[in-house]
């Protein structure tokens, strides 16, 4: 179907005075005595294109006046003081009717209401802006890491190990509801892979394999967590960026993470000014200033031990008590980043007992060289660590957690054959998207959110 993108019409003065064909969905319609107006959106830009219909000139346009209808308009492009440019219609063809029960009749709907119709909510301004930023952010991540010599690798989605050791894995099986097997061993032996398999919670372990050959790598793909966390920040299926770097210790990887966050935010500011202005107006006052300040200021770094001291001194009652050794809850994380530092902060050197087996053990015998990056409004967006490169210490940590060593043979071999200091991190793609857009529920930055008790 030959037509011109609405974006081109707005961006290109060449079209003024020319006859054009445009397509789109009707977003508003207004009728007066001799003239009717439509605003259409074709998804190529955030802006709607106004169509002016002189009733005498155009026949059969009534069906085009319905919200949600899809139309093809042929007309002359003219300059307009209010809209920049608009189209005086010569003819209108309705491609798809849209009856009155189209649910998006109001100008603004609540995000909760829109969540009930993921297939239609994408046609609203909010979701147009979210997904445009999401796409730009994804490209910015690839561009940045590629420009720094990182090799993009795709790690398996179905795995035989639980990378985080937390046991929150979705199982993958071809077995039916009823099976003839009497024991667990028999059950798994007769399953598709001949052993227990699940969806990957993280590509890190395989990412480390690639980093031990290519030096700097990253993954960008889905991770799956069967956590029973019904919160505004948890999805059962989320997108995960995991860089892994050989010959890098904790301060090196912190520097890489900070530089990457700054570079990708900078790109979004550059490429999505209309969307950021929209989020500023409707979702987070001061958003643009916040993002600009991220790009030009250093992030904070605080020792876990010091963070606990600061929390204990806080003039605030927390729901969860915190003492040295406890895992930080969202309320603690947000207090640290929002009230104490008022900017992104790396909390470093966590107690080893609350972190994963693969993290490098510090000489104090109590902590590991791990860090979480906390940001105001969201909390943790990055989980990061230097990896334990010493075979004996790694085995000791695995044994202390009663892990099945034989399931991790490849991972252990990396420490046996030319082990090097190395580090990596995982950035939650939807979490950073929440931070960049000011949208406070992770379900609203995802096309089809999967959460506990909800799939569509």
- Contact residues: Mg ion, CB under 5 A: 383
Considering only residues 346 to 385 of the shown chain, the ones binding ligand 4AD according to CB under 6 A are 380-385
Distance CA 257, CA 380 (A): 13
Among 24, 165, 428, 449, binds ligand 4AD (CB under 6 A): 428
Residues 369, 370, 375: CA angle, nearest 5 degrees: 145
- Of ligand 4AD, Mg ion, none, which one does residue 332 interact with (CB within 5 to 8 Å by kind)? none
Interface with ligand 4AD by CB under 6 A: which range of 63-71, 139-147, 315-323, 421-429? Answer: 421-429
Is residue 67 within 8 A of residue 39, CB to CB? The reply is no
- The CA distance from 403 to 361, in Å, is 17
* CB of 105 or CB of 259, closer to ligand 4AD: 259
Residue listed under structure tokens 């919200």: 67
Q: Contacting ligand 4AD (CB under 6 A), which of 8, 227, 249, 407? A: 227
Residue in 52, 133, 145, 163 binding ligand 4AD, rule: CB under 6 A: 163
Nearer to ligand 4AD, 133 or 163 (CB): 163
Q: Which is nearer to ligand 4AD, 68 or 383 (CB)?
A: 383
Stretch that binds ligand 4AD, among 107-115, 137-145, 333-341, 424-432 (CB under 6 A): 424-432
Q: Which of 42, 280, 386, 430 binds ligand 4AD (CB under 6 A)?
A: 430
Helix axes 125-147, 273-282, angle to 10 degrees: 130
Contacts with ligand 4AD, 234-273, as mask; x by CB under 6 A: xx--x-x-x-------------------------------
Question: Element (H or E) spanning 368, and its range?
Answer: strand 367-375
**Least CB distance from residue 383 to Mg ion, whole Å?**
3
Size of the site for ligand 4AD (CB under 6 A): 23
**Token pair of 347, please?**
């909390």
Give the separation between CA 305 and CA 52, rounded to whole angstroms: 65
Sign of CA dihedral 293, 332, 438, 269: positive
Cα gap 231→58, rounded to integer Å: 52
Q: Which stretch binds ligand 4AD (CB under 6 A): 51-59, 147-155, 407-415, 428-436?
A: 428-436
**Which one of 128, 202, 437, 446 is in contact with ligand 4AD (CB under 6 A)?**
202
225, 334, 355, 360: residue in contact with ligand 4AD (rule CB under 6 A):
225
Q: Sheet holding 158-159: strands in order across?
A: 158-159, 197-199, 171-172
Of the two residues 98 and 359, which places its CB atom closer to ligand 4AD in the complex? 359
**Burial label, 265 (beta-carbon count in 10 A; 0-12, 13-18, 19+):** buried
Nearest residue relative to Mg ion (C-beta): 383
User: Could you tell me the CA-to-CA distances from 140 to 137, 170, 329, 384 in Å, in that order?
Assistant: 5, 30, 31, 20
Q: Bridge-partner residues for 56, per DSSP?
A: none
22 versus 384: smaller Cβ distance to Mg ion: 384
What's the min distance (Å) between Cβ of 241 and ligand 4AD? 9
For residues 133 and 328, which CB has a smaller minimum distance to ligand 4AD in the complex? Answer: 328
Q: What CA–CA distance (Å, rounded) separates 355 from 302?
A: 17
Among 106-114, 125-133, 187-195, 426-434, the segment contacting ligand 4AD (CB under 6 A): 426-434
Give the residues across from 239 on adjacent strands: 222
Asked if 388 touches ligand 4AD (CB under 6 A), the answer is no
Q: CB neighbours of 86 closer than 8 A, spacing ≥ 6?
A: 49, 50, 51, 52, 77, 78, 80
Residues that bind ligand 4AD (CB under 6 A): 163-164, 202, 204, 225, 227, 234-235, 238, 240, 242, 380-385, 424-426, 428, 430-431
């Amino acid at each position: 179907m030959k037509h011109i993108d609405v974006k081109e019409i707005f961006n290109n003065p060449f079209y003024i005075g020319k006859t054009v064909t445009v397509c789109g969905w009707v977003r508003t319609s207004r009728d007066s005595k001799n003239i009717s107006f439509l605003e259409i959106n074709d998804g190529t830009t955030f802006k709607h294109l106004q169509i002016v219909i002189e009733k005498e000139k155009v026949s059969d346009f009534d069906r085009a006046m319905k919200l949600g209808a899809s139309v093809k308009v042929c007309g002359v492009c003219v300059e307009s003081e209010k809209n920049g440019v608009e189209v005086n219609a010569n003819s209108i063809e309705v491609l798809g009717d849209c009856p009155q029960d189209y649910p998006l009749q109001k100008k603004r709907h609540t995000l909760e209401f829109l969540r009930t119709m993921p297939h239609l909510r994408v046609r609203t301004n909010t979701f147009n802006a979210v997904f445009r930023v999401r796409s730009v952010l994804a490209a910015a991540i690839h561009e940045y890491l590629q420009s720094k010599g990182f090799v993009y690798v795709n790690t398996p989605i179905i795995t035989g190990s639980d990378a985080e050791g937390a046991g929150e894995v979705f199982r993958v099986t071809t077995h039916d509801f009823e099976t003839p097997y009497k024991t667990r061993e028999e059950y798994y032996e007769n399953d598709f892979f001949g052993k227990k398999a699940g969806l990957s919670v993280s590509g890190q372990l395989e990412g480390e394999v690639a980093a031990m050959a290519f030096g700097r790598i990253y993954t960008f793909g889905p991770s799956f967590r069967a956590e029973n966390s019904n919160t505004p920040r948890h999805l059962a299926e989320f997108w995960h960026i995991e860089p892994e770097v050989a010959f890098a210790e904790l301060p090196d990887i912190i520097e890489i993470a900070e530089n990457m966050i700054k570079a990708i935010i900078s790109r979004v500011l550059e490429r999505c000014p209309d969307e950021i202005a929209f989020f500023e107006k409707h979702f987070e006052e001061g958003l643009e200033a916040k993002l600009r300040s991220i790009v030009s200021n250093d992030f904070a770094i605080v020792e876990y031990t010091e963070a606990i001291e600061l929390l204990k001194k806080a003039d605030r009652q927390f729901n969860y008590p915190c003492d040295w050794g406890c895992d930080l809850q969202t309320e603690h994380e947000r207090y640290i980043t929002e009230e104490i530092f008022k900017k992104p902060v790396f909390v470093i050197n966590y107690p080893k007992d609350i972190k994963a087996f693969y993290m490098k053990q510090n000489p104090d015998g109590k902590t590991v060289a791990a860090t979480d990056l906390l940001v105001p409004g969201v909390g943790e967006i990055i989980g990061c660590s230097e990896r334990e490169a010493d075979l004996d210490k790694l085995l000791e940590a695995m044994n202390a957690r009663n892990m099945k060593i034989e399931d991790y043979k490849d991972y252990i071999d990396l420490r046996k054959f030319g082990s090097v200091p190395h580090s990596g991190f995982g950035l939650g793609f939807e979490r950073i998207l929440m931070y960049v857009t000011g949208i406070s529920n992770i379900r609203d930055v995802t096309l089809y959110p999967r959460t506990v008790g909800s799939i569509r």
